[in-house]
Amino acid sequence: KILSLKGTDDDLPPSHQNRITREEGSLAENGRFGVVVSVPYPRMHNDMETQIHLLQQEAYSSVLWAFKAQSNALNGLNTAYVLNTVNVT
């Protein structure tokens, strides 16, 4: 019986970007496997990379907002100090 893979991802050309190699086959005398097979990373890996990228963007944005808030607070203190100094003299 022949298994048809037509219409599935298996009939697409291999993507070298998301592939790893693993050794597979019978164990040779030197303790190594004899055949090297290229297998695709699970889709979960790509999803995880996307999630990490989004978290990095969110963290970067949060740091920028914190710097801006700190800058605004310091500017407000400087303005209050200058106005207070002018009123005293």
For the chain, give the percent of residues with pLDDT over 90: 27
Kindly state whether residue 8 falls inside one of the protein's structural domains. Answer: no
Total count of domains within the chain:
1
Q: In the predicted model, is pLDDT for residue 49 greater than 60?
A: yes
Q: Which pLDDT value is given to residue 39?
A: 54
Q: Which pLDDT value is given to residue 1?
A: 47
* 81 vs 45: CA distance, rounded Å: 54
Kindly state whether residue 4 falls inside one of the protein's structural domains. Answer: no
For the residues 50-73, what does the mean pLDDT come to? 94
Kindly state whether residue 6 falls inside one of the protein's structural domains. Answer: no
Mean pLDDT of the chain: 72
Angle at 31 between CA 28 and CA 34, to 5 degrees: 40
Q: Which pLDDT value is given to residue 63?
A: 96
Kindly state whether residue 60 falls inside one of the protein's structural domains. Answer: yes
Full residue range of the structural domain in which residue 67 is found: 13-88
Q: In the predicted model, is pLDDT for residue 68 greater than 80?
A: yes
Cβ-based neighbour number of residue 13 at 10 Å: 5
